[in-house]
Every structure is written in C-alpha cells, then in structure tokens.
C-alpha cells in the first residue's frame, strides 16, 4: 500500500522565511515529500516547524525559494491545529459537516461522508454531543474527523495531541496511523515528541534552533503495522535515539 511512493507531493527548494524585525525562522531549507508519505517534523521551540507547515499550506509565503506541488493534480488539503477549534454551538455531527457545507456539496452525499468520518474516529455514540460535553481527546477526534471528511490528499497537523495526557495521546497516535494506512494520503505532522514521531511516521526531519535548518533527514525503519507494544522494543529505542541526538546537536 505504501511500499512505493511514485511522485513528489511537495517540493521545497531552498526556502527562507524572514520576518519584520530581523527574525529569520527558516534558512535555506530544501525538502521533497513523496506522495503517500508520513513525515514528522521535529525541532526546538521557535525553530520554524509551524512556519514550515504554514508555508506548505499556502497560509504564508517564503521570503525566498519556492514550494511547488504537481500542477496537473491539485491536492485537497486539510489542516489540524493544536487546539480543536470546534464551534461550541454545533454538535459533533454539525462540526464535522462544516467543510462540506461551505463547499455546498450534495446534501445526501454529505450525510454519508459525515457519518463515515465520525465512524472512522470512533465517535458515532457521541454524534449529538456538544464540545463542552466532550473530553479533550474526543474534541481532537472531532477535529480530525472534520479534516478527514473532505478526503484530503494532504493532511497537515501542528502538534494536535500535545495538550493531552500520555495514554490518550498514544491512543490517538494509533488511530491516526491507522487512518493514514487506510486512506493513503500524504501527512506532514509537527511534534516535539521523538516517541510520537517514530511511532507515527515513516520519515522524520529535525530542524536546528532558529533559524531552522535541516539537521537530520531519517527514514523510520519500523514495520508498517504498529501498535502500542512496539514502543517497548529495542528497534523503537534505536530510532528514537538517533532523533534525540540530532535534537541535542540542533540546540533543543
């Protein structure tokens, strides 16, 4: 399913992003992200991880350099933030429905897609609940369902599980990994956690302290099918060690 990744989904060529006041967030970063890849981005606070994600999403523009995607197949993109950003006056169903309503999709097709997305994140039993009736983990699952309801080809996530307790975070990591395997989309995931990056991704890059430069670009050499016990294996520890050492060299 993910053994061959034939084309680049995203080509990042020598980008720099400088802000007013002389702050340079990213400095001459080049990176190719393959179609269907799960890429984790790590680095110390303020190194430009979120800036890079925003540039990929088109929410910001580089000061120099280019970011390109195959023009013959414009990609559907979804973005998941650290905060769930749910509308408090809408229940689970209607929060997940929002992107399809904005796109004015067919009402019957819309219902099937909404229910399918909610089922994939395991929240059918909470479909009529409002955000203030949900736990933090459930709210993030609603946010993930809202992103998935449009069947994105490119899913961008900015530390979506950082505020959750460790057990909830690990469960959501497993769920996200399963969704990626089932959907075959390209995923770019920003995190501070080496263990989360190694569990989720098939490739990780580590940025240096600001201005962010790539310190490590590493394939995650672990089985495609991953579950909780993997975190206790020597192979998992070996992969996390290499990333941790790069973070130390980069000034984390």
With a cut of 80, say whether residue 5 has pLDDT above it: no
Average pLDDT of the chain to the nearest whole number: 89
Q: How many CA atoms lie within 13 A of 206 on its CB side?
A: 26
Query: Confidence class of residue 252 from pLDDT cuts 50, 70 and 90?
Result: low
Sequence ranges of the chain with CATH classification 3.40.50.300: 8-75+153-250
Q: Give the Å distances, CA to CA, from 72 to 66, 69, 134.
A: 18, 9, 41
Cα 116 to Cα 94: distance, rounded to the nearest angstrom:
13
Average pLDDT over residues 40-56: 93
| CA quadruple 99, 104, 110, 111: dihedral sign | positive
Cα 86 to Cα 96: distance, rounded to the nearest angstrom:
9
Q: How far apart are the first and last CA of the chain?
A: 35
The DSSP code for 82 is S
Cα 185 to Cα 190: distance, rounded to the nearest angstrom:
16
* pLDDT digit string, tens, across residues 136-188: 999 999 999 999 998 888 999 999 888 888 888 898 899 899 989 988 899 99
pLDDT of residue 7: 58
Average pLDDT over residues 85-111: 90
pLDDT of residue 243: 92
Cα 119 to Cα 245: distance, rounded to the nearest angstrom:
39
CATH superfamily of 8-75+153-250: P-loop containing nucleotide triphosphate hydrolases (3.40.50.300)
**CB-CB contact of 197 with 238 (8 Å):** no
Cα 8 to Cα 20: distance, rounded to the nearest angstrom:
32
Bond preceding residue 179 cis, omega within 30 of 0: no
**pTM, 2 dp:** 0.89
Average pLDDT over residues 118-133: 94
With a cut of 80, say whether residue 8 has pLDDT above it: no
* pLDDT digit string, tens, across residues 53-76: 999 998 999 999 999 887 544 468
Q: Give the Å distances, CA to CA, from 28 to 17, 64, 83, 203.
A: 9, 8, 30, 20
Only one residue has tokens 């016990």, namely: 229
* pLDDT digit string, tens, across residues 10-35: 999 999 999 988 899 999 999 999 99
pLDDT of residue 104: 82
Query: Confidence class of residue 4 from pLDDT cuts 50, 70 and 90?
Result: very low
Query: Confidence class of residue 95 from pLDDT cuts 50, 70 and 90?
Result: very high
Q: Which residues of 207-229 are buried (b: 16+ CB within 10 A; e: fewer)?
A: bbbbbbbbbbebebebeeebeee
């Amino acid at each position: 399913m993910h053994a061959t990744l034939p084309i680049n989904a995203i080509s990042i060529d020598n980008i720099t992003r400088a802000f007013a006041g002389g702050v340079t967030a990213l400095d001459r970063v080049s990176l190719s992200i393959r179609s269907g890849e799960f890429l984790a981005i790590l680095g110390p606070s303020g190194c430009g991880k979120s800036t890079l994600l925003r540039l990929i999403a088109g929410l910001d523009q580089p000061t120099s350099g280019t970011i390109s995607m195959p023009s013959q197949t414009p990609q559907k993109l979804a973005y998941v933030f650290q905060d769930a950003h749910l509308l408090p006056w809408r229940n689970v169903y209607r929060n997940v429905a929002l992107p399809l309503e904005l796109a004015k999709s067919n009402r019957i097709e819309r219902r099937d897609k909404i229910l399918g997305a909610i089922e994939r994140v395991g929240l059918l039993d909470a479909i009529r609940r409002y955000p203030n009736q949900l736990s933090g983990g459930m709210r993030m699952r609603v946010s993930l369902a809202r992103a998935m309801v449009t069947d994105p080809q490119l899913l961008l996530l900015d530390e979506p599980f950082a505020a959750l307790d460790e057990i909830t975070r690990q469960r959501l990591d497993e769920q996200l990994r399963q969704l990626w395997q089932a959907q075959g989309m390209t995923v770019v995931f920003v995190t501070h956690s080496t263990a989360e990056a190694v569990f989720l991704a098939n490739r990780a890059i580590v940025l240096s302290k600001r201005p962010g430069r790539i310190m490590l670009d590493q394939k995650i050499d672990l089985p495609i099918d991953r579950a909780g016990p993997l975190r206790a294996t020597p192979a998992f520890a070996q992969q996390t060690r290499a990333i941790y050492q790069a973070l130390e060299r980069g000034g984390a």
